[in-house]
Amino acid sequence: MILTTTESIQGKSYETLGIVKGSTIQTVNAIKDIGAGLKTLVGGELKKYNEMMEKARDIAVKRMIDEASQMGADAIVCVRFTTSSIMQSAAEVMAYGTAVKLQ
């Protein structure tokens, strides 16, 4: 599956199939959350949250690709990500774009 953030794929023509998306809500466990809370006192990178968000992006992209595959797509153009806080220590990540069939 070709993924691109651009509106087109250079040198390719395609048929638009529709919008596709994939999302997930992730959280870290309570122990890691307490550790991150203590880290905010001294500053620095919150590595467990970075890992959580990276995992969430990977899951969201996989789900988006699965939806596009079910539509018969060869590629997804205009891929974007969005995030939102659901509750303390939990975030939703959504990947979305336009599924296309190459011609």
45/39 Cα distance (integer angstroms) = 8
Q: Is the pLDDT of residue 21 over 80?
A: yes
Domains and CATH numbers, the chain: 2-102 (3.30.110.70)
Q: What pLDDT, on the 0 to 100 scale, is given for residue 2?
A: 97
67/70 Cα distance (integer angstroms) = 5
Which two structure tokens, joined as six digits, stand for 51?
Answer: 């890992």
**Residue 43 — pLDDT band, cuts 50, 70, 90?**
low
